[in-house]
Amino acid sequence: MIYNPNIPILFVISDDNLACNNIFDKIRNAAPKRLYIAGALSESETEQFVQKSILAGIDWKVRLKTRLIKKCKDYDKMVFQAIDWFFKNEPEGIILESLIIPSDSFFGFCSSMLEKYRDDERIGHIAGKNYNTNHGGDSYSYYFSFLFNTGNWAGWRRAWKDIDLNFQTFPLFKKLNILEKTASYRPFKTQWENHFKWLYRNKKSGFWQLKYLYSQLINNRLSIVPSKNLTVNHYKTVYENNYKINELSFSEEEIIHPPFVIGDVVSDWKSQEIQFSVPGITVNRPDGYSYMKNQLALLSTPKGGRMKIPRIIHQIFEDPEGPSETLLQLAETWKQFHPDWEYRFWNKPAIDEFLVSKFPDFIPYYRNFSFNVQRWDAIRYLILYYYGGLYVDLDYECLQSLDLLLVGHTCCMGMEPTVNSVIHSQPLIIGNALMASTPGHNYFKSIIQEMKDYQGAYRDDADRVMKSTGPFMVTRVYEQYKKKREVTLLSADLVAPLTLEEIKLVQNKWAPDDIVEKVEKAFAIHYFFGSWVPQIDR
């Protein structure tokens, strides 16, 4: 990619001479016509290095400006003041912060983006770092994001001038619940809100990166993220020899621009998962690979290959018109991969007869529920408690026999994709769409008792369903259950590998390699049709 030398560069130096030297070599190769150098000369050794290796090393025609401070008590403040000084002199430019080494193509990428989006108020930032180096589900050279990664980056005075150093608008920001309303931030709302709240309460002068991000967020701007990572931390190159910068391999003429200026929410989620070092979108807990290794080891023991859970598949559907053709096709996949299992379909007459004959004491609770979906939830627990077997929702597709997953266990619960727990700010969410158990299992006995006893506050009708009979209730009972070893949690990557966003891609007949790989490793797919949602829409 061809760098336009008319685009100015700011180089913020540090006291790490080796890092500065490596970064300066990149600048020398780029040969900008205007160069700004800022930093703190806290030691005489640093000052000598800057004079002899940096300033004396400028061997091309350049207009140079420096802002070198002898004493610096607050490094973060110094960096902010350097960037502020730069944008007071220039309407746009590239910023190289200390210890972050750019790739050669970083300069060309930034100058191209600066020129293309110079007057586009929708865009406020150009990142050099891509936290999610596996991004590439599409064929574009970059994507748009609501995240604003600094380090090595580029931007415009028009966006920088809006930085809110005092966080004066934060009370209104919180009241309007902007993080919840912004899809890219919603799963990580707690983390960001805690950062913002701390800054507001402490009135700190530093942490300009967060304040810069906040200012772009409240102005509804997007950033540009390259499809490959174009920067690397200096210490990564020193201590991790296998850590390499991914160079963009296309020329300026070959840049493929996204057709729509819309934030890539899924990529933002994945980036924040990596950034915050928390399980999130792509990693499901517990680990399915480890679980399968244990299962194979279990099969090698004398008693390990014994199936304790009855080979009965249960599915329910109360509507007199019966399931749709799509649901019937999905139901057939369970029969196909479990030919030696008994299949039981529960319609409304069968459910009513079951309640009267087996659980007459539960009928008042059953009838007292506000929504049908609560009754659909409740009946599945009662069926498994009485008969045992495997229960699966009708919007579930079987990809291979579950015998290997269930063998040797007395109770197995399918986990929901971890993104669901992040969205709801939960450590984990145990689903109720795929469950297996022996008859009379104490965990299901506890679930039934919880449905009778729970008296909790609900935020809305959806929350009522989730907490009274749905996954939140099942998870709550598990967290309180003393004999957790009796309950086996099946990783989402085994039984619910795809997020709702990924399912939409599949339904649109577009499956990137990472989605194909997830499906190939899974035993079943939950499509989350959400047929119960219209019941609570008022």
User: Which band of pLDDT confidence, cut at 50, 70 and 90, is reported for residue 229?
Assistant: confident
pLDDT above 90 for 159: yes
User: Which band of pLDDT confidence, cut at 50, 70 and 90, is reported for residue 206?
Assistant: low
User: CA 126 to CA 155: how far, in whole Å?
Assistant: 6
Dump pLDDT digits (tens) for 45-81: 677 888 888 888 899 999 999 998 877 777 788 889 9
User: Which band of pLDDT confidence, cut at 50, 70 and 90, is reported for residue 204?
Assistant: low
- β-strand 34-40 against 9-12: which pairing, if any? parallel
Residue 298's closest CA among 400, 389, 405, 390?
Answer: 405
Q: What is the pLDDT of residue 239?
A: 38
Query: Is the N-terminal amide bond of 286 cis, ω within 30° of 0?
Result: yes
Q: What is the pLDDT of residue 135?
A: 52
Q: What is the pLDDT of residue 302?
A: 67
Q: Domains in the chain, start-ordered, CATH in brackets?
A: 9-275 (3.90.550.10), 288-533 (3.90.550)
Record the pTM: 0.56
Higher-confidence residue: 358 or 77?
358
Helix locations, 96-222, DSSP H: 104-116, 157-160, 170-175, 178-181, 189-202, 208-218
Q: What is the pLDDT of residue 234?
A: 60
Q: What is the pLDDT of residue 221?
A: 95
Average pLDDT over residues 146-151: 88
**391: which strand partners?**
314, 435
Average pLDDT over residues 442-448: 97
User: Which band of pLDDT confidence, cut at 50, 70 and 90, is reported for residue 502?
Assistant: confident
User: CA 123 to CA 222: how far, in whole Å?
Assistant: 5
How would you write 492-528 as a 3-class SS string? Answer: HHHHCCCCHHHHHHHHCCCCCHHHHHHHHHCCEEECC
Please work out, in degrees rounded to the nearest 5, the angle formed at the alpha carbon of residue 156 by the alpha carbons of 151 and 159.
95
pLDDT above 60 for 137: no
Q: Is 343 exposed, middle or buried (0-12, 13-18, 19+ CB in 10 A)?
A: middle
* CB-based contacts of 164, cutoff 8 Å, min separation 6: 211, 214, 215, 218
User: CA 117 to CA 129: how far, in whole Å?
Assistant: 19
- β-strand 430-437 against 411-415: which pairing, if any? antiparallel
Higher-confidence residue: 21 or 314?
314
Average pLDDT over residues 452-472: 86
Among 3-12, 71-80, 450-459, the minimum mean pLDDT is found in 71-80
Higher-confidence residue: 91 or 185?
91
What 3-state class would DSSP assign to 49? helix
Dump pLDDT digits (tens) for 521-537: 899 999 988 765 555 54
Among 133-137, 163-167, 421-425, 460-464, the minimum mean pLDDT is found in 133-137
pLDDT above 90 for 443: yes
Residue 24's closest CA among 41, 5, 11, 40?
Answer: 11
pLDDT above 60 for 284: no
User: CA 153 to CA 93: how far, in whole Å?
Assistant: 9
Q: What is the pLDDT of residue 197?
A: 83
With tokens 């004066």, the residue in question is 168
pLDDT above 60 for 324: yes
Average pLDDT over residues 128-147: 76
User: CA 472 to CA 463: how far, in whole Å?
Assistant: 9
Q: What is the pLDDT of residue 537?
A: 47
- β-strand 524-526 against 396-398: which pairing, if any? antiparallel
Average pLDDT over residues 208-212: 88
Q: What sign does the CA torsion over 120, 126, 130, 136 have?
A: positive
Are 533 and 412 in contact by the 8 Å Cβ rule? The answer is no
Higher-confidence residue: 455 or 281?
455
User: Which band of pLDDT confidence, cut at 50, 70 and 90, is reported for residue 186?
Assistant: confident
Mean pLDDT of the chain: 84
Residue 127's closest CA among 160, 175, 94?
Answer: 94
**314: which strand partners?**
344, 391
DSSP state, 103? P
Range 400-430 burial, b when 16+ CB lie within 10 A, else e: ebbbebbbbbbbbbbbbbbbbbbbbebebbb
User: What are the backbone angles phi and psi of residue 114, rounded to the nearest 5°?
Assistant: -60, -40
Average pLDDT over residues 125-150: 80
Q: Which amino acid is at 471?
A: P
pLDDT above 90 for 92: yes
Are 234 and 19 in contact by the 8 Å Cβ rule? The answer is yes
pLDDT above 70 for 325: yes
Q: What is the pLDDT of residue 276?
A: 65
Residue 57's closest CA among 17, 96, 90, 87?
Answer: 17
User: Which band of pLDDT confidence, cut at 50, 70 and 90, is reported for residue 300?
Assistant: low
CB atoms within 10 A of CB 35: 21
Residue 144's closest CA among 216, 221, 212?
Answer: 221
Q: What is the pLDDT of residue 277?
A: 52
